[in-house]
Chain A
Amino acid sequence: MPLSSFRLAGLELKNRVLVASGTYGYGDDCLETADPAKLGGIITKSLSLKPRAGNPPVRIVETAGGMLNSIGLANIGVRRFVDEKLPFLRTVDTAVIANIAASTIEEYCEVLRILEGEEGIDGFEINVSCPNVREGGLIFGTNCTAVAEITRRLRPLTKKPLLVKLTPNVTHIAEFARAVEAEGGDAVSVINTLIGMAIDVKTRKPVLSTVTGGLSGPAIKPVALAKVYEASRAVKIPVIGIGGITSATDALEFLIAGATAVQVGTANFIDPAAGIKVAAGIDRYCDENGIPDVAALVGSLDAASGASVLDSWL
């Protein structure tokens, strides 16, 4: 067996496969079919200060090789999370990273402060794909200054790993990764969902109640991979790769492209043990190829043969 554990900003993780925010609930719904202790970590559903009911139906629709969602950050709120979900998560022998959503920078800070005081949270991932109420609902994550400011304001509030989850719905994700690095963020998670839409031609109505939604699943993997490649070449902090991973081969592509670790999202809906299987498959690949430490794969892309289109952007 290769060495699969590693340290992410000081936090020891068992392996390089975590489950992505919003695709594993609060970790307690899959116990009968998957042992979460075999994961590198669990990232919680985005937590906001107040509970959020979420968007009206229809919230999801399947598309070619993927799905669109407009859940609307439905969650039980940070206080109920602490009271009802954290006691269970403390008993699970894996890292727990709390994902935070907010509509003002103060709210991000407040949620992080509440969680910082709680035992059982090993790190934070900041979901910046949220509408900023002060800016008329513009998404924080598409404004580099806002992403930098969020990181700057949150950094002093915790010594635990602070991950910022970037949206791909920007022109140059590298700039956003650099902003996070410059403000002391420990890692960037790349990517959140891509904006997409579906229409019912019988009724000429959008399928989702919110018209547009977030595209995820295998359909986005090539885009995600290119964003991870771009971000990882722009910064020294770790990049966590996310987007359409359903197999160990998918995860290996992300590691080779430059991701230090990966997150499995939509695939959990089809198989709650998907992440565990991906982690086992990475180990198997290393064994078969005589690789003693998974770390050797990270950024091992052999791209000598040609210049990337990205090169003209960077």
Chain B
Amino acid sequence: MMMELCPVEGVRRAGDGIYVLSFVSAAMSRSIRAGQFLNLRVEEGCEPLLRRPFSAYRIEKTSIEILFHVVGRGTAALRKKRQGDVLDVLGPLGKPFRTADPGYDTGLLIGGGLGVAPLPLLASALREQGKAVVTFLGARSASQLVTDHLENVHTATDDGSIGFRGNVVGLASDFLGKHPITRPKIFACGPMPMLRAVASFARASDIPCEVSLEGPMGCGIGICQGCPVELAGPEKSYALMCKDGPAFDIRTITI
């Protein structure tokens, strides 16, 4: 983990309300792993006050990219960053996806909405380890589907404007029904209702599954206790999304 003032290289549009911001950090680009995140201070001063967490989307030499959706004041400010601006970045944070697990041969990547963000890095990590990759992406409509830098992608949209009409979990289960895959493992990222659906699909089909969660964070480094994730088990206890996650094996949490 380090805190660095990183030169911004630019912001480009990637979809409807969706942008890619790239900045330079030699050290973080070397150390960051798929599934980890960066906590960005979008403005100096106290509006907004807290940092905003974003998944690492892509690494190109010493550049790091994040993919983001403009939903509020922090992301609106990020969209306005220009080359020459400096961004205060704390990272890499959190635990990477557990890709080294020998118990599977094919990674089934499921992304809903901006949940696609950690998938390109994850796909390359999986390929480096000799795993096969199949990707399922869901979005509201074609204009919000970001399929760049991913291979073997199957898509679903709520409005049917492209790909399968319906949700991405329906798409994945439809696909697997037609094309059985041996020794798969699911890695999913997206909104909570989607992750719940993925988890129950994975349980029903007996497929190992990791979900990358999203929720409010105060610090991103484990000092505020603001990001509880309920653990499975008879006694109520919580892990921290920022420190123990954001990706969790679904057997370990209540989802």
Query: Does B2 make an interface contact (CB < 8 A)?
Result: yes
Q: Which of B148-200 contact A (CB under 8 A)?
A: none
Q: Is residue A62 within 8 Å, beta carbon to beta carbon, of the partner chain?
A: yes
Q: Is B223 an interface residue (CB 8 A)?
A: yes
Query: Within 8 Å of chain B (Cβ to Cβ): is A29?
Result: yes
Task: Write the nearest CB–CB distance from B217 to chain A, whole angstroms.
Answer: 8
Residues of A246-266 at the interface with B, using a CB-CB cut-off of 8 Å, are 246, 266
Does A33 contact B90, Cβ atoms closer than 8 Å?
A: yes
Q: Are A272's CB and B223's CB within 8 A?
A: yes
Q: Are B222 and A59 in contact (CB under 8 A)?
A: no
Q: Is the CB of B218 within 8 A of A25?
A: no
A60 at interface by CB-CB < 8 Å: yes
Structural contact, B3 and A268, CB atoms closer than 8 A: no
Task: Count residues of A near B (Cβ-Cβ below 8 Å).
Answer: 36
- Determine the distance from Cα of A71 to Cα of B221 in the docked complex, in whole angstroms: 15
Whole-angstrom CA separation of A294 from B199 in the bound complex: 58
Which one of A33, A64, A69 lies within 8 Å of B47 (CB-CB)? Answer: A64
Contact residue among B41, B215, B219, B237 (Cβ-Cβ distance under 8 Å from A268): B219
* Complex: chain B residue closest to A72, CB-CB: B225
**When A71-B226, A74-B238, A269-B224 are in contact, do A60 and B216 touch as well, CB less than 8 Å?**
yes
A127 to B225, CA, bound (A): 17
Residue numbers in B under 8 Å from A66 (CB-CB): 46, 49
How many chain B residues touch A (CB < 8 A): the figure is 31
Contact flag A218-B49 (CB < 8 Å), given A32-B1, A58-B215, A60-B218: yes
Within 8 A of B (CB), among A1-53: 22-25, 29-30, 32-33, 45, 53
- Of A23, A33, A54, A58, which is within 8 A of B238 by CB? A54
* Chain A proximity mask over B126-146: 1 for CB below 8 Å, otherwise 0: 000000000000000000000
> With an 8 A cutoff between CB atoms, is B61 at the interface?
no
Bound: A76/B92 CA distance, A: 25
Contact check: which of A25, A57, A271 meets B228 at CB < 8 Å?
A57
Q: Is the CB of A29 within 8 A of B3?
A: no
| CB-based contact B223/A24 at 8 Å | yes
Known: A32-B2, A270-B41, A272-B221. A60 touches B47 (CB 8 A): no
Contact B226 A59 (CB under 8 A): yes
Q: Which of A45, A58, A246 contacts B46 (CB 8 A)?
A: A246
A29 contacts B2, CB within 8 Å? no
Residues B225 and A67 in contact, CB atoms below 8 Å apart = no
Q: Does A56 contact B (CB under 8 A)?
A: yes
Partner of A22, one of B47, B221, B225, B238: B225
* Contact across chains for B224 and A53 when beta carbons are under 8 A apart: no
